[in-house]
Amino acid sequence: MEVGYHKGVGGDVSTAFGADDGWLVKFSATGVVDWKRAFGGSANDFLYDIEATIGGYLIVGEADSEDGNINLAHSNDAWLLKVDNTGVL
């Protein structure tokens, strides 16, 4: 499992919410991409680290957006996401 960010659509990225979006990619044991997900809103949003949990993953990042799939009261906040084993919030 890898986290990071992407800018716009193209190549392996088919979903974008705005400027920079958080990017989550799940790989199989052989290195094949199982699935990938974008998270963010209209501003710059980043994912920094990930930890496996029972039934999913806990991800930490930074969000400047207040829209898209971000539910924060203010921009430029720490961002904590919990996703299931398929990357769904």
pLDDT band per the 50, 70, 90 thresholds, residue 21: confident
Give residue 4's pLDDT. Answer: 77
Mean residue pLDDT across the chain: 85
In angstroms, the Cα distances linking 31 to 25, 26, 27, 34, 60 are 11, 9, 5, 9, 23
**Better-predicted residue by pLDDT, 3 or 60:** 60
> What mean pLDDT comes out for the span 23-45?
90
Q: Is the pLDDT of residue 71 over 80?
A: no
> What mean pLDDT comes out for the span 18-46?
89
